[in-house]
Amino acid sequence: MSASMTDAGATAAPHAGHAVRPFYWSVRREIWENRGVYLAPLAVAGIVLAAFLFTLRHLPGQIQDIVSLSADLKAHPGTPTAALALEKIALHKAMAGVAFPYAAAAGGLMMTAIVFAIFYALASLHAERRDRSILFWKSLPVSDLTTVLSKATIPLVVLPIATAVVALATIAVMLGLATAVMGAGGLVPSLLWGNIEISTLAISIPYGLAVLALWHAPVIGWLMLISAWAKRMTMLWALAPPAAICLFERLALGTSYAWDFLRHRLAGGFSVGFTPRTGGPGVYGVEHPDPAHLLANPGLWGGLVVAAACLAACVWLRRTRDPI
């Protein structure tokens, strides 16, 4: 999807024996078929922006609260009275309230990406067998490996990039609107901008999406494997084996290692890729990106090996299995 790839496509002459780029066109074909990869984030961004417009009327009041509370606290340094402690809590709450919509926008878009990725992966190798269009795809000189990799590229690369771009653009628009509201209310925009850690958000969103893609890669691989294997009811086949293992372990052994393992894999991406920040005001819920902690985690590498094994199995299944 880089600019150089597009240029090369424009100059490739359509003569017999002309240059081809099966992987690039396979990825484009996936995007044609699954326009949700960019429409879903855009739709969620639209909802977030519409809701944000409603909250904007509170913004000048919130900022004024922060200003007066800060001034109050500064005027009485070092006097730990109960009233001041309450004011301090109120200040943090007000600051978090101002920062919340930006983090919520990012969080909402990440959730959208996860849901989209699940449904995409479950249909990726199943739909073409069900409607028999696999016979058309297989009539062209595109290998099963290229096809499977191009399909895995959608949830692991294209979707995170699309989500990051939409999230950052959404936050930029939100900040622009908020700044305009502040200006109209006679408030200095730096009061807002100083309260939201723009650079942290700008780094955390793409980094967080990359962490999720890497951490969830084995889950995507598993879902694609089910979609290449199952004849029907892909969702059921994807959920049943792990659920059965967890249930068996709980009943037979009374332990829940399998469930803990699964939960860590499904929900633990951020705890591996970020370290919790200690105190201080700032963006609600955002923690410090910590790539070293991520790369040192054996679970990440084990997961990537599982993902590769699943994709290899997908290639083999697509090769050998008949249309449904």
Partner 1 sequence: MAASIQTRGLRKTFGSSVALDGVDLTVEPGRILGLIGPNGAGKSTTLNAILGLTQCEGELTVLGLDPWAQRDRLMNEVCFIADVAVLPRWMRVCQALDYVAGVHPRFDRAKAEAFLARTTIKSSSRIRELSKGMVTQLHLALVMAIDARLLVLDEPTLGLDLLFRKSFYDSLLNDYFDGDRTIVVSTHQVEEIQHILTDVVFIDRGKIVLDCSMESFETRYAELAAAPEHLEAARALKPIHERQVFGRSYLIFDGVDRDRLAALGEVRTPSLADLFVATMAPVAAGRTA
Contacts with partner 1 by CB under 8 A lie at: 9, 14-22, 24-26, 28-29, 32-33, 128, 131-136, 138-143, 320, 322
Query: What backbone torsions phi and psi does residue 275 show, to the nearest 5 degrees?
Result: -110, 140
CB nearer partner 1, residue 143 or residue 153:
143
CB nearer partner 1, residue 7 or residue 131:
131
Q: How far is the CB of 25 from partner 1 (least distance, A)?
A: 3
CB nearer partner 1, residue 19 or residue 247:
19
Q: How far is the CB of 313 from partner 1 (least distance, A)?
A: 17
Q: How far is the CB of 277 from partner 1 (least distance, A)?
A: 45
CB nearer partner 1, residue 14 or residue 276:
14
Query: How many whole angstroms from its chain centre is CA 215?
Result: 11
Query: What are the angstrom distances between the C-alpha of 170 and each of 33, 60, 107, 146, 292?
Result: 25, 21, 12, 34, 29
Q: How far is the CB of 139 from partner 1 (least distance, A)?
A: 5
CB nearer partner 1, residue 99 or residue 134:
134
Q: How far is the CB of 3 from partner 1 (least distance, A)?
A: 17
The rounded distance, in Å, linking the Cα atoms of 254 and 34 is: 43
Helix axes 82-124, 59-75, angle to 10 degrees: 140
Q: Supply 143's token pair.
A: 């290998």
* Residue 307: count of CB within 10 angstroms of its CB: 22
Q: How far is the CB of 320 from partner 1 (least distance, A)?
A: 8
Query: What backbone torsions phi and psi does residue 78 show, to the nearest 5 degrees?
Result: 70, 20
CB nearer partner 1, residue 131 or residue 260:
131
Q: How far is the CB of 314 from partner 1 (least distance, A)?
A: 16
Are 324 and 233 in contact by the 8 Å Cβ rule? The answer is no
| Cα four-point dihedral sign 108, 111, 115, 116 | positive
CB nearer partner 1, residue 9 or residue 241:
9
Q: How far is the CB of 30 from partner 1 (least distance, A)?
A: 11
CB nearer partner 1, residue 277 or residue 319:
319
The rounded distance, in Å, linking the Cα atoms of 32 and 21 is: 16
The rounded distance, in Å, linking the Cα atoms of 114 and 103 is: 17
